[in-house]
Amino acid sequence: MTQSEELDQWFPRASQSVPTQRLGIVVGGSLSQGLEVKLDPQTIIEGLAVGRYVVIHGQTGRRFFSLISDIALDAINPLVEKTPPDTSSPFLARVHQGTTTFGRVHVTPMLVLEKGAVEPKPVKTVPAHFTPVYPATEEEVALIFGQETEPGYFYIGQPLEMEDVHVALDLRRFVERSAGIFGKTGTGKTFLTRTLLAGMIQWGGAVNLVFDMHNEYGWKSQDETKQEIKGLKQLFTSRVSVFTLDDESSHRRGSKVDGVVRIGYSQIEPEDVDSLASLLALSDVQVGALYFLRRRLGPGWIARLLDEKDPLSDLDDALQRGTLHGGTLGAIQRKLGMFRRFDFLQKSVPGDPIQQLLGYLDRGINVVLEFGRYGDSLEAYLLVANYITRRIHEHYKRRKEDALGRRVDEPIPLIITIEEAHKFLDPAVARHTIFGIIARELRKYNVTLLIVDQRPSGIDPEVMSQIGTRVTCLLDDEADIRAVFAGIAGSQALREVLARLDTRQQALVMGHAVPMPVVIRTRTYDTAFYAAMIGKEANPEATLARGRALLRGEEDEGI
């Protein structure tokens, strides 16, 4: 037996197709704390970045897919730091680099692929000392995340330092649970949200309802340089309908809308006002009085409370007996006076706007609701979003229960997109609002949330624990960072990765829709993106078919 064969017996080679550009070798670490990698002399440390993918080729054929979480300089002799050698000579500098001094990276193994296997599994062991480490290849990234050409996968961005490699998001898993897009103001959350919505519309396995607080998703908007940005309606003409609360604003902005939403006072229930309790500073006694007033005054209770000429004689006996306190009644009337500022609230309206919205959603057509000038009013946003979502949830719950035993008739998955989500999901109110209920129910009734927020720390921790996929741009508030990583395994290493993100167009994606965390440069929402989307959306009939196939757990290749 030759020396080479003897070495192969004790240290078998992982693969004959190992990449040639080795980064370094494993020199220490643990499963819980991550691994230390000593870089090879030829590896340029400045070419590495926190968040980059590497693959450790184990001695038994395993491949450990890992993330760089820290980069450091090291030396054999600690005195090098105190008395650095003379490196004015390029020759001496090269001698020291890689011998007395070297680079070191800390990597966190995330997944392992056994020899001959096609599906990666969670890491339960570590590679041996001196195991070689290589940059991840395009084929390896596709093996882990899937390919954008596969049904149900959508190209969302490129891994760090891998500009020609595409990371695909599994949309089927993305819509199974509520998702969140987080990041401080100015990090590009809106562009990222618009990109994800476009991907879901093109795929056609679910339908979206977008509460467009700042009029950025419907027909068109502008970026910071005043350049026009195409909205979802321009990209998917037959698959997106735009409704508005403020037709004057929509007309002024050149937005093409399909309908105007008007809500009658008689259609508002105490639960709708209850959702505004914190903003209106309604006490528990006043909230309880809302339900009493609705029972006593009937469907026109709001209109009567706002009518200064109405003596409300129906309430005289209740006031006399002390069932209702006069101060409580006066406070409620005073606080509900805010409704007079909203022109979309009227004494009576023809028809039911919610039924019109439901008709579009039931046919597989996505809906964007623009708020116009009311987007600057948090009270209007909370009122309308809660009002509509409560009724849609009741509709989906009824359809789901009616379809028991007849799954083909179930409503297709619905994703409701809300901005300023912490206002709906604050710990004090999340347990009582419809959005808190939806987040906790997962997809029990085929309705999930896509929440967009710059303050995840303001969201109820119980709700955060139910968010399946988290797409996080740069955050600098410690409380927000803790909230994003709550319940995430290996979060300590990922915190450093998040802290090093660029201020724009970079995000850390983790959770249900990706097999392992990934730092990406997000896909650019530009003319190339428009060309990839326009004319390629699934028609409404295909959306219904795909949605029902998704509910049955079937693949959708043939749809």
pLDDT for 112 beyond 90: yes
Domain count, the chain: 3
Helices (H) and strands (E) in the chain, counts: 23, 23
Domain annotation covers residue 361: yes
Phi, psi of 365 (to 5 degrees): -105, 130
Domain annotation covers residue 295: yes
Same domain, residue pair 59 and 114: yes
**What is the mean predicted confidence (pLDDT) over 326-342?**
89
Same domain, residue pair 319 and 290: yes
Phi, psi of 395 (to 5 degrees): -65, -45
pLDDT for 225 beyond 80: no
| pLDDT category of residue 535 using cuts at 50, 70 and 90 | low
The predicted structure's pLDDT at residue 10: 39
Same domain, residue pair 426 and 521: yes
Output the six-digit token pair for 66.
């890992």
pLDDT for 170 beyond 90: yes
Domain annotation covers residue 556: no
Domain annotation covers residue 159: no
Same domain, residue pair 510 and 408: yes
CA angle 526, 476, 54 (to 5 degrees): 65
Q: What is the pLDDT of residues 49-82, one digit of tens each?
A: 888 889 999 988 899 999 998 999 988 888 777 7
Same domain, residue pair 458 and 380: yes
Q: Which of 315, 341, 367 is the last residue of a domain?
A: 341
Least confident of 213-227, 304-318, 527-541: 527-541
Q: Which of 341, 369, 391 is the last residue of a domain?
A: 341
| 97 secondary structure, DSSP code | B
Same domain, residue pair 337 and 356: no
Same domain, residue pair 402 and 538: yes
Give the global pTM.
0.86
Phi, psi of 194 (to 5 degrees): -60, -40
The range of the structural domain enclosing residue 426 comes to 173-262+351-551
Same domain, residue pair 404 and 415: yes
Domain annotation covers residue 496: yes
Same domain, residue pair 373 and 252: yes
User: Which residues have a Cβ under 8 Å from the Cβ of 84 and sit 6 or more positions away?
Assistant: none
pLDDT for 99 beyond 80: no
Domain annotation covers residue 157: no
Antiparallel, parallel or unpaired: β 240-244 and 132-135: unpaired
Q: What is the pLDDT of residues 363-417, one digit of tens each?
A: 889 999 999 999 888 889 989 998 999 999 999 988 888 887 665 577 889 999 9
Yes or no: say if 472 and 451 are a contact pair by the CB < 8 Å rule: no
Q: What is the pLDDT of residues 443-497, one digit of tens each?
A: 788 899 999 999 999 998 888 888 999 999 999 899 999 999 987 776 777 888 8
Same domain, residue pair 200 and 291: no
Question: What is the Cα–Cα distance from 519 to 157, expressed in whole angstroms?
Answer: 9
Domain annotation covers residue 163: no
Least confident of 121-130, 205-214, 431-440, 522-531: 431-440
**Which of 86, 51, 91 has its CA nearest to residue 67?**
51
Same domain, residue pair 84 and 186: no
Domain annotation covers residue 115: yes
Q: Which of 321, 341, 361 is the last residue of a domain?
A: 341
Same domain, residue pair 180 and 207: yes
